[in-house]
Amino acid sequence: MNSAVQTVCHIITSLELGGAQQNTLFTLSHLDASQFRAVLITGEPGMLDEEAKALDGVEFYQVPSLVRPIRPWQDLRALVAITRLLRELKPAIVHTHSSKAGILGRLAAWYAGVPIIIHTIHGFGFTRYQHPLLRHLLLSVERIVARFTTRFFAVSEANCQQGVALGLFPAGRCTVIRSGVDLAAFRQTCVNVAAKKEDLGLEPTKPVVGMIAPFKPQKAPMDFVRVADLVHHARPDVQFLLVGDGELRGAVEAERAERGLSAVLRLTGWRRDIPEIMRCLDVFVLTSLWEGLPRVYLEALASGVPVVGTHVDGAAEVVRDGVVGFLVEPGDVQALAGRVLHVLAHPDEARRFGFNGQTLPSEFDIHEMVRQQEREYDKLIAALPGKREYGEPCKSPYSI
């Protein structure tokens, strides 16, 4: 790599309390400062803003016009603002995350003449649950910005293969880099489970089934409430914990009340003590409709908790069905409840699942995630004089 320190600028739409956001902050704060100058650009206010501002060695910039919803005039203002900022910062690398920042950030980087443009796929912004016209529009825009993206990172093999199948990039222009967690920290967490359960408003002696996720359509939290209802009728002794918050909070509360689950289903809001909470769960559930590769699966498995989740995108790459838990089709509430009841009814099998889950390979460790990104940065920077081996983008995003 060149001896000079190279500026690496990550762009993400909002610093909500999510896996992509937390891993972006970890990456920036753990890059080798002797080689990289770490810069973060984010948009609308998020829960992790203050944490980001406090990171040692990370320059923080906020563009309030960068928001998640599609708002053409506001999006244009964000594009202009980010382009101007990048022209001032002169980064060697712009690395984008999330759908909106991925589109506007890569466009801005291209307009600003940034030599290396990277996008991490944490799952795609277009899904089969959208109106076909909207999905077609989003896919078309992704195909345009893909033309001047130097390199793609994907958190799962499934997302990489999907991108190739959709014609977004050839296989040689995408590298799988897992969205890791601190495996050692989760494996080594010690907690007084009885006391922790009481702190969470739970009965210390009863089993707990939990989910940790933002309350948004992608995560289908209403399905978790329906699963809890089915399990409760079969096993009245089971308690349920739903950790998170978001736009569907009101709907979740209404569904819980309608099904008479208020006494057995606890809503905690956002929490930062996830390693301790994981130790209180007998089964971890995730009801997502689509994903890249949810890091919360890694957190559950590293904590020795059996998983029951949905078979979406990269889930099967970490949740080995019948080995560490079970996967069912998204939206199949009956199957999810059945698998939860099976795990609860077979404690020896549950312990085996938990033990198997703790053997996650190092590719899922957050420190290895950073090292992999640094190695890719090094290769791209070294190839700058003639970077065609990494898939040089077209000179115009509108050229064929």
* Integer Rg of the chain from CA: 22
Report the C-alpha gap between 307 and 286 in whole angstroms. 8
Fold match flag (6-180+365-390 vs 183-361): yes
Which pLDDT tens digit goes with each residue over 256-279? Answer: 999 999 999 999 999 999 999 999
Count CB-CB contacts under 10 A for residue 237.
Answer: 11
Residue found under tokens 């569904």: 255
Distance CA 143, CA 139 (A): 6
What share of the chain in percent tops pLDDT 90?
A: 85
**For position 398, what pLDDT does the model report?**
30
Distance CA 2, CA 20 (A): 29
> pLDDT band at residue 70, thresholds of 50, 70 and 90?
confident
pLDDT band at 42 (very low <50, low <70, confident <90, very high): very high
DSSP reduced 3-state for 373: helix
CA pair distance 364, 376, nearest whole angstrom: 17
| Mean pLDDT (whole number) for 170-196 | 94
Q: Please provide the average confidence, as pLDDT, over all residues in the chain.
A: 92
Structure tokens at 90: 């002169």
Local confidence band at 3 (pLDDT 50, 70, 90 cut-offs): low
Tens digits of residue pLDDT in 117-146 = 999 999 888 788 888 898 899 889 999 999
Cα 384 to the chain's mean position, in Å?
Answer: 30
Q: Which segments of the chain does DSSP mark as H helices, in order?
A: 19-30, 49-53, 72-89, 99-111, 132-146, 157-165, 183-188, 193-199, 221-234, 249-258, 274-278, 295-302, 333-345, 347-357, 366-382
* Lookup: tokens for 400: 């064929």
- Provide long-range contacts, Cβ within 8 A and 24+ apart, for 257-261: 259/225, 259/226, 259/228, 259/229, 261/225, 261/228, 261/229, 261/232
pLDDT at 386 over 60: no
**What is the residue type of 186?**
F
Between the two ends of the chain, the Cα-to-Cα distance in Å is 32
SS3 of 321, please?
A: strand
d(CA 114, CA 88): 11
CA torsion 217-221-222-224 (nearest 10°) is: 150
Q: Which CATH superfamily is domain 183-361 in?
A: Glycogen Phosphorylase B; (3.40.50.2000)
Q: Which residues of 112-128 are buried (b: 16+ CB within 10 A; e: fewer)?
A: bebebbbbbbbbbbbee
| pLDDT band (50, 70, 90) for residue 392 | very low
pLDDT at residue 353 above 70?
yes
Helix or strand or coil: residue 338? helix
Asked if residues 364 and 180 have their Cβ atoms less than 8 Å apart, the reply is yes
Q: What's at 83, amino acid-wise? A: T
**pTM given for the model:** 0.89
DSSP 171: G
Tens digits of per-residue pLDDT, 72-107? 999 999 999 999 999 999 999 999 998 899 999 999
Give 355-379 pLDDT, tens digit per residue.
Answer: 999 999 999 999 999 999 999 999 9
Where does the pLDDT of residue 327 fall: very low under 50, low under 70, confident under 90, or very high at 90 and above?
Answer: very high
Residue 236 is given by DSSP the state T
For domain 6-180+365-390, the question of CATH label 3.40.50.2000 is answered with: yes
Domain ranges of the chain: 6-180+365-390, 183-361
